Chains A and B, each alone.
Chain A
Amino acid sequence: DLDRPLKPMIQFLIQCRPHSITMGNAIKHVRHSITLLPPDISETDAKATLHETIDAYINANILLAQEEIVRHASGKIAEGDTILTFGRASAVEKVLLEARERGTFYKVVVVSCWPQNEGQQLVETLAAAGVECSFIAITSLSYMMGSVDKVMLGASALFSNGAVLGRCGTALVAMMAKTFNKPVLVCAETHKFSDRVQLDSICSNELGDPDRLVSCVCTPSSSATETGATKDGANSSCLCNWRSTSGLELLNLTYDLTPPDHVSLVVTEFGLLPASSVPAIIREKDSAAA
């Protein structure tokens, strides 16, 4: 009856951070291993077994899976390629660094991801590793996309219809790549796969902190010290006091949904797959676990 005391703990985790697909898969795995424990096992043995199961899950599905993805995806970076990426996906960062290690010469265009601004960290890491990179705002996408060879994106989750849940802005990048006929590679470990289907970005999403949207114009010292502040001052105070302004809502969406036909290829630890093969992978994993 370990399952019963687990429920309030899981509730607590969900309160810390809204329930995500990967969280759900991990929790499901732990609860499933609890049901698999033989009824006559001692408490210490049970705890040890569960610890092992959890460590094995982390090792296989998260750590080693990422290494396998790096192995498969870094082979897709050809000599002289220009790769475009959005924000900072840890899998993509590792792939790019691995390709640099192998000695392939390539360039990277990093698209800034607002308001988290993780792209900046990626640029710093790549520049330190000696990779030639550019940093652009998402508004310059149509200008840069023509000179790019491949687009590499990360994902938070993949749905059964092949749709990709990613950081808000991912769908725009994928859509622009499709318009310019550039291949889109999504790097995702299989523990991110869900048997749910989602058709648009709104039906299930997470709200981020709305104040972060106005943080560039609403720093505590903004009003007096900034140059050209008089005109901006009037605007920024309106945004700074957005809560008291009636009819004004700020919406900071965390994720968006990329439809499956904008994805050329998904890189998982099992290899390279088309987006339509997500249910096949889920089926294989379920039958392996059963």
Chain B
Amino acid sequence: STARSSEATGRRRRCANGAMGAVDAFCAARSDLAQDMSPPVAAIMALTAVIQESKAGTVMGLGDELRAAADELGAYTRENAGTESSIPVQSACDTMIKFVIRSSSELLAENSFDQVKSLLIQRSNRFADRLVSSRDRLASFGHKFIGDGKTVLVHGYSRAVVSVLRLAASKGRNFEVVVTEGRPDCSGYKLAQKLTECNIPAKIIMDTAIGFVMERVDMVLVGAEGLLESGGISNRVGTFPLALVAKAHKTPFYVAAESFKFTRVFPLSQKELGDMDVRSAAVKNRDLPLPDVPGVEAVRAAAAATDGPAQTLTVQNTLSDYTPPECITLLFTDLGVLTPAAVSDELIRMYQ
């Protein structure tokens, strides 16, 4: 956790050094801790600010400015987001730019470009509001699945999952949540703390104990970094084995994710998803923190040896894995409760 807070201050320091407009607006939106804005929503706010300040005179010019701003935001989040995936920010920016261009073409028929710009700002603000409320709408669809007296298994730290559980608890339902530790960054502890604040009983288990607890669990609920074209998801590593164990036990596996996480990516294997991951090399190649246990000296020695024969002792860190659609029961999104097959249908509708 100390690593994370110094990252956050580093982020704010870089913002203060006067980066470009979009990144400034992004940081400002993010540092509003009361809203607990997720990066994609902050990105939309930043793009709205870009439209406001834009001096472009044509739709094409505006589109170019927005695309440049989106690229800056993408690069910024890749370098600074730590282990959080930058897919949601990119998808949100893509959706927003598509929305702006489509709206502009419609509006230009009746209005001058300046009028179009002010109308666009209105619509973008409404779009941003819709995105901010998307987590609440998602929760309103998903909370009904958390029944009274049930046990829910959760993996990974997802604000969407927290909102579903929080809403279910507020409706007076009593349920228990089993939380995986989430090594090496142990985000499960942060999630358990959030649940305790909502008076939801939480039990933290080892990541490797999911097979052991599955028979006592009624459903599994995870978030997603990306909702993929195949109907599968990319999420924090460990989601795929969890989904397989749930499938073997015929336990429902639910995913809570906002619709702006839709991405037109169709991996055929875990390796393909890893290759598509555009997080910075520094993040991807970040070493697994080595525990202080017997045997670790051999790993340190192997890492330190620069010449000599190729090392036979290596350590691999993995950030995300791909869960195929066959393992997913339902997805709770702000568009409603969808089957994995419906994800592609939605994407086709959005991108046609």
Contact = CB atoms under 8 A, between A and B. Distances in A.
Nearest to A182: B268
Contacts of A265: 230, 266, 268
A274 B348 contact: no
Nearest to B264: A271
A272 B272 CA distance: 14
B348 A270 contact: yes
Interface in B298-352: 325, 341, 344-345, 348-349, 352
Given A150-B268, A265-B266, A277 B352 contact: no
Contacts of B229: 271-274
A281 interface: yes
| Chain A interface size range | 10 to 19
Nearest to A288: B352
A264 interface: yes
Contacts of A276: 231, 341, 344
A183 interface: yes
Nearest to A261: B326
A280 interface: yes
A272 B352 contact: no
B54 interface: no
A104 to B, nearest CB: 14
Given A265-B230, A284-B352, A273 B268 contact: no
Interface residues of B, number: 16
A212 interface: no
A264 B268 contact: yes
B344 A183 contact: no
Name, among A76, A150, A265, A272, the residue most crowded by chain B CB atoms within 10 Å (CB to CB): A272
B269 interface: yes
Given A270-B348, A284-B352, A277 B268 contact: no
Nearest to A273: B344
Interface in A30-65: none
Nearest to A280: B345
Interface in A182-226: 183, 185
B340 to A, nearest CB: 8
Nearest to B344: A277
Contacts of A271: 229, 264
A280 B351 CA distance: 12
Contacts of A183: 268-269
B266 to A, nearest CB: 4
Nearest to B345: A280
B317 to A, nearest CB: 22
A204 B345 CA distance: 28
A274 B344 contact: yes
A23 B345 CA distance: 26
B259 to A, nearest CB: 16
A280 B349 contact: yes
Interface of B: 229-231, 264, 266, 268-269, 272, 275, 325, 341, 344-345, 348-349, 352
Given A150-B268, A288-B352, 8 more contacts: A183-B268, A264-B268, A272-B229, A273-B229, A274-B231, A274-B325, A277-B344, A280-B348
18 contacts: A150-B268, A183-B268, A183-B269, A185-B268, A265-B230, A265-B268, A272-B229, A272-B266, A273-B266, A274-B229, A274-B231, A274-B341, A274-B344, A277-B341, A277-B344, A281-B348, A284-B352, A288-B352
